[in-house]
Amino acid sequence: MANPIRIVLAKVGLDGHDRGVKVVARALRDAGMHVIYAGLWQTPEAVVRTVADEDADWLGLSLLSGAHMTLVPRVLELLRAAKLEHVGVLVGGIIPEADAAKLLDLGVARIFGPGTSLDGIIDFVQQRREATNA
């Protein structure tokens, strides 16, 4: 890839379980993407600042704490305020179906739950890029 897809991955809130997001980060990197892992215990403000600073194409949020209906809408609001609406937002973690539908309505591009294949995540991001570059 001449210009690799740039994706920021972050753990927002007080969730300290990061094995999954690190596995995803490595898979995306191995697929040729430029991955910036912001780390644990990030605030929505810090994540959006990182997205802007890194000129990211995508933001992947990993949440297992149950705070997704508070944190994800806040991140989306801050992205809009920073004029970063073009950045795609992915959410990974344990998200109940009813909440998933609400998050998708708010603008999340895709939600990846437990058991999602790494190839599925990679394919989704790559296909979205191909669709926007066509």
pLDDT in tens, 81-128: 999 999 999 999 999 999 999 999 999 999 999 999 999 999 999 999
User: Locate tokens 């892992």: which residue?
Assistant: 37
Tell me the pLDDT tens digit for each residue of 27-36: 999 999 999 9
What is the structure's pLDDT at 133?
Answer: 67
Break the chain into its structural domains and give their ranges. 6-133
What is 6-133's CATH number? 3.40.50.280
State the Cα–Cα distance between residues 77 and 71, nearest whole angstrom: 10
* Amino acid letter for position 2: A
The token pair at 9 is: 């991955």
HEC assignment per residue over 7-21: EEEEEECCCCCCHHH
pTM, 2 dp: 0.95
Tally Cβ neighbours within 10 Å of residue 80. 12
State the Cα–Cα distance between residues 48 and 129, nearest whole angstrom: 21
Query: Helix 118-133 crosses helix 19-30 at what angle (to 10 degrees)?
Result: 50
* Amino acid letter for position 48: V
